[in-house]
Structure 1
């Protein structure tokens, strides 16, 4: 059973899927979570606090998922290039599904969403650092730069989403080629 905080965040996420943030009411979020309104205010203080926590939760999920994608790719024998490509694809897939993440990564917020406490460059820096840390703590400057360039390339697909649903696979190939120092047309594992 989720904690009261987690239940409130789930209820807020559900409400946000159905209506703009400006029309989400705290009393309805509390009721949907099965807690009192006082509990909600004790946890988040304000609606803005709830919104910021909701954005943070989504960012945490993105970063953790990218690290998990790297770990899974490593378990399958992937080299650092394949691992970074896996993180890029994870980011693309999540951002396509989740408006809060798209906004957090791009800085393009609309009235349907709560405002974040972090700037996009902070989110991307955290994503890059976590991806590199998942590569067994590798701190090689060249690999770090290549991984960041690859993730930023993938981020361009978040800013202007392609119509082709197979685009993440193409991005993965280019990211892996970048990190391996091979031509982009070369087949990638």
Structure 2
């Protein structure tokens, strides 16, 4: 059973499917999660705090997916690199927040997840303070993936990540994995 925090984040994410972030109401998120509005405010402090935590969770989940692909040591390096490229494209197509994180193209329909400066350390719990640090921008996220690729496979990852991101923006014919394999 998910924690109240996860249920609230799930409810906030689900709300984005039907309305822009500006129209998402805290009372509706709390009701959808089955908790009180006070619980929501205790957990996140504000709607901005909820937004930062939501975007941070999606960024962390995306990076965990990259790590899972790289952890599969059964395939050749080219297959693992193609797998990373395919994961980037698949994750960005399936999740509007991941797409915005990867491309840097934020719609007004989405929460930005940008940090609040000057937040006091005691204002939120540890998980929220981590979210309050903000999320990586597109170039920072690409760098995080590049470093993971290089540490996991031992080859430069810049081309793999850039090809995958370009595929998110402007898909080509065939699959991105095949393009990456041909490049290697």
Bin of the TM-score, shorter chain as denominator length: 0.7 to 0.9
Give the aligned partner of residue 122 of structure 1: 140
TM-score (norm 2): 0.82
Is 2:80 the partner of 1:83?
yes
How far residue 39 of structure 1 moved from its aligned partner, in angstroms, is 1.3
Which fold has the larger relative contact order, with Cα–Cα distance below 8 Å and residues 6 or more apart in sequence? 2
| Rounded Cα–Cα distance in structure 1 between residues aligned with 2:38 and 2:145 | 35
What is the alpha-carbon root mean square deviation over aligned residues?
Answer: 1.6
Write out aligned runs for 1:11-22 (5 A).
Answer: 11-22=11-22
Write out aligned runs for 1:1-189 (5 A).
Answer: 1-72=1-72, 74-75=73-74, 78-117=75-114, 118-135=136-153, 138=154, 143-144=155-156, 147-162=157-172, 164=173, 167=174, 169=175, 171-179=176-184
TM-score (norm 1): 0.80
Residues 89 and 172 in structure 1, CA contact (< 8 A), matched pair in contact too = yes
Which runs of 4 or more aligned residues in structure 1 lie more than 3 Å from their structure 2 counterparts after TM superposition?
131-135
